[in-house]
């Protein structure tokens, strides 16, 4: 995906054009996580057990100019909610 590409929102199927892309704006690559353990084996429940990847990882922030008649304008949206046309 690059500036000038035609895209649509996968949730609402709204058409638009990419204006700008901000790389790795949302999310994180990894996070502290707790492993499921029985209560009697838990020494300190506030301490994280492992460092693991996040569910969605890093996401780009995309500025989209909507081209439909509903509400034309510019909006920032996560890259996982867009697909190229």
Q: What are phi and psi of 20, to 5 degrees?
A: -155, 150
Average pLDDT of the chain to the nearest whole number? 82
CA–CA separation, 49 and 70 (whole Å)? 48
Q: Decide the pairing of beta strands 59-66 and 6-9.
A: unpaired
Task: Output the pTM of the full model.
Answer: 0.67
User: Quick one: tokens of 82?
Assistant: 């867009």
Higher model confidence: residue 68 or residue 64? 64
Distances (CA, A) of 5 to 52, 74, 78, 82, 83: 34, 15, 15, 11, 10
At 70 the pLDDT is: 73
The number of CA neighbours under 13 Å toward the Cβ of 20 is 6
């Amino acid at each position: 995906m690059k500036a000038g590409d035609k895209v649509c929102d996968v949730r609402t199927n709204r058409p638009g054009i990419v204006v700008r892309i901000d790389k790795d704006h949302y999310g994180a690559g990894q996070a502290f996580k707790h492993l499921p353990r029985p209560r009697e084996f838990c020494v300190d429940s506030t301490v994280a057990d492992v460092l693991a990847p996040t569910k969605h990882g890093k996401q780009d922030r995309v500025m989209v100019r909507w081209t439909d008649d509903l509400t034309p304008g510019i909006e920032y949206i996560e890259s996982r909610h867009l697909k190229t046309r």
